[in-house]
Amino acid sequence: MLCCAQCRVLLTAQTGLTHVRSAAHTVPYARLSEDKYHNVCNELGIRTDYPTSQELDGIEALSGLDIYTMALICGVDGCSMIFASRGAMRKHYDVMHKGVPIPTIWHIVSAQRLDNGSHKTYFRVIEPSYVFRPVLNKDWIDILDIRIDNAMKIDPLFNSDPRYLNALLTKTKWADHVKGHDLDELHSLVRLPGAEEFPLLKETIEWIFEVAMISIDGTPAIILQRLNTKELAP
C-alpha cells in the first residue's frame, strides 16, 4: 500500500496519483507520467484495492497513519465498532443499540483508520512499542504549549544588517543628520527625562506618550496612513 506522508492517509495504486495531483502537495509528483507511476506500482506490488475490515482487524499499526491509543470499542455482542470519542460512541449506541444501557466504563484499544473519507472506519491495531506516551500531566501541558506556539508562530521581522536604511530613514535623512555626531551624546538627548530633571518633566512626557497611544484608536485612518506612509513630505 501507499501512504501520503503529508495527509497521513492510505492510498492504493489506483488512488495514489490522483491524490497527489488533486490535493495541495508540496512534492512535485504532478509531473510524474501515469505509465511510469503504474510501472513503479507494479514493480513494488502496490495493491489496487483497499484492504477489507477483516484483513485490518488486529494488525500491526500501519506506519504513516495516525494512531489513536485511547479509542473506545463497542462491547455489545458481535459489534466491536471502534470510535475515537465518547460522543461518537454514544451516537453509535443511539443508532445501533437503542435501549441498551450505555456503559460507564469503556474498553480501550489502539486504533487507526485509512482516511477520513470513504475509509474512516476505525480498526484495531497492535500498537508499536515506540508510541510516545508522556508520563506526567505537566508534560502534556508543555507539549500543548509548544504545539500552540508553533501553530501561532509569527516570524519576527528581522533585519540582519543594522546599517540597513529603510524607506523612512532614507526619506527623513536621519542617517545624514547624525553622521559625524557623538552617538552617546545623541542618545542622551532623546532619552526619557530622569526623575531628577526639571520638576514633573518625566511625568509630563510619559503623559503625552500615553495620550498619544490612547488617541491612536480615535485618530482618522487617513492621518494614521499618512504617518505610516513611505511617502512622507520632504
Residues that bind Zn ion (CB under 5 A): 4, 6-7, 74, 76, 79, 81
Nearer to Zn ion, 10 or 61 (CB): 10
Nearer CB in complex with Zn ion: 34/145: 34
The smaller minimum CB distance to Zn ion, of residues 17 and 56, is found at 17
Indicate the residue among 4 and 62 with the shorter CB distance to Zn ion: 4
Residues ≥6 apart with Cβ < 8 Å to 72: 82, 83, 84, 85, 86, 89, 106, 107, 108, 109
Q: Which residue(s) pair with 111 in the sheet?
A: 68, 124
Q: Please report how close the Cβ of residue 73 comes to Zn ion at its closest, in angstroms.
A: 9
The least distance separating Zn ion from the CB of residue 93, rounded to whole angstroms, comes to 7
Which CB sits closer to Zn ion, 77 or 196? 77
Provide, rounded to whole angstroms, the least separation between the CB of residue 6 and Zn ion.
4
User: Least Å distance between CB 229 and Zn ion?
Assistant: 44
Q: Give the C-alpha separation, 126 to 121, whole Å.
A: 16
Smallest gap from residue 23 Cβ to Zn ion (A): 5
CB of 28 to Zn ion, least distance (A): 13
* CB closer to Zn ion, 37 vs 193: 37
